[in-house]
Homo-oligomer: A and B are copies of this chain.
Amino acid sequence: MTKTPDSVVRSFIDLHQDEFLRDLADWLRIPSVSADPARAGEVHRSAEWLAERLRATGFPVVEVWETDGLPAVFAEWPSGDPAAPTALVYGHHDVQPAAKEDGWDTEPFEPTVVGRRLYARGAADDKGQVFVHTLGLRAHLAATGRTAPAVNLKLLVEGEEESGSPNFEALVRREAGRLAADVVFVSDTGMWSETTPTVCTGMRGLADAQLDLYGPDTDIHSGSFGGAVPNPAEVAAELVAALHDADRRVAVPGFYDGVVELTDRERELFAALPFDEAQWLRVAKSYGTRGEAGYSTLERVWARPTAEVNGIWGGYTGPGGKTIVPSEAHLKLSFRLVAGQEIEKVREAVRGWVAEQVPEGIRYELTFPGATRPCLTPLDHPALQATVRAMGRAFEQEILFTREGGSGPAADLQDVLGAPVLFLGISVPSDGWHSVNEKVELDLLAKGVEAAAHLWSELAESWPQA
């Protein structure tokens, strides 16, 4: 058999697999639960442990970065080639809380292999997927005969992702110079399934809004005044109902301005995924589908912007009845955004729409507490193509595409660094993130290492020369 780069990578991984798993198990034994103040020391220990392993991997620069909360780990290995692109890998070393009493079959912080699965808190989310890059990088060097990676490689592994990344954006802003990159790879993500490897091409953004509506100065008697004055609870409801038209499109004028529409090719590739709606509904704990006309369920959650009511309240909510016209009512709304939508323009559109909708006699306040930009990489982007080729070499089958309907801290990297965000992950829906019996599939973990090994060569080769 010819010694192709692929066979070298595979041999190298086979050779170092046991050592890799022993090391990963050591890391998984550290209960780095960021949400538990009593375990802050463990999160520090986890950061130091990872820093030490990255040094052992060969990274010439490894630093533990303190924040106002828990520490992140930064590592850097320059390519040496002045034309090489710079890639920043993002992951996190903190984990969700876990205890055997929650219903685990094994001790969550005592990694246990059963068959071809490794059970432990953090096995998939996210230590396993971060650790892929250690052996992956060594295999990359072995297969290419290089002494440094084909790209300028940076790693940023934060310690507070499971606590909502409260200090992440500030850290990224503080260290923007050190973190500068041409492309960001988020390794905190999954694939469609064990048998359908995929690459995620984007995440939706998010704009929160709160609308406070005021009618009478106090609750007033609905017998004396009902039917003759505006009721803020009713107006809140009317606004919510007016948010969508009969086709379930968001009815705020200008909301869809700039939206990057799905291409025919993307729709084809989404449709090629083996989607089982009944199963999806079970996961959603829901009893029916409802969404924008003309789009499939996957297209609705991955690629279409939405307006959602997260909360509504006003008037009497206790037992029995109270015949009042309430004095006030409130709405919490969130808008999921897709590529092409600009947060400030969406807010302006919502402001104008609310001003037009609220009837005379109702005063209101509209606030926008927070927002996250969407990210999307087109199918023909060279970094995405490189990722697909790297995954294809690892899995030896066609790589399909997904997107992520949620919104995450990865967008902070995109926003601050101005770099496109890509996703490289091998977790699958059955891995039990945030749940009991979290695991990672050992065969997929090995495929992830292979893909990471190929990624840097593919990226360097495909990178447009200056």
Contacts and interface: CB of A to CB of B under 8 A. Distances in A.
Given A240-B237, A332-B315, A287 B363 contact: yes
A225 B286 contact: yes
Contacts of A217: 285-286
Nearest to A404: B223
Contact of A308 (B204, B227, B244): B227
Contacts of A218: 285
Interface string A272-310: 000000000100111111111000010011001010111
A352 interface: no
Interface string A66-87: 0000000000000000000000
A419 interface: no
Given A234-B240, A359-B290, A362-B288, A321 B370 contact: yes
Contacts of A407: 223, 323
Q: Which of A217, A323, A329, A360 has the most CB of B within 10 A?
A: A323
A300 to B, nearest CB: 4
B241 A238 contact: yes
A204 B222 CA distance: 11
B326 A334 contact: no
Interface in A207-244: 208, 210, 215-218, 220-231, 233-234, 236-244
A222 B334 CA distance: 9
A204 B404 CA distance: 54
Contacts of A251: none
A93 interface: no
Given A288-B361, A362-B288, A224 B406 contact: yes
Nearest to A300: B228
Contacts of A314: 309, 311-313
Contact of A238 (B230, B240, B359, B362): B240
A15 to B, nearest CB: 39
Interface in A404-418: 404-407
A288 B229 CA distance: 6
B312 A322 contact: no
Contact of A227 (B286, B300, B363, B369): B300
A334 to B, nearest CB: 5
A325 B309 CA distance: 7
B316 A332 contact: yes
Given A221-B406, A311-B314, A312-B315, 13 more contacts: A215-B287, A217-B286, A223-B407, A227-B292, A230-B288, A237-B238, A289-B361, A310-B324, A311-B317, A313-B313, A313-B314, A317-B330, A321-B334
Interface of A: 204, 206, 208, 210, 215-218, 220-231, 233-234, 236-244, 281, 284-292, 297, 300-301, 304, 306, 308-317, 320-326, 329-330, 332, 334, 336, 359-363, 369-370, 404-407
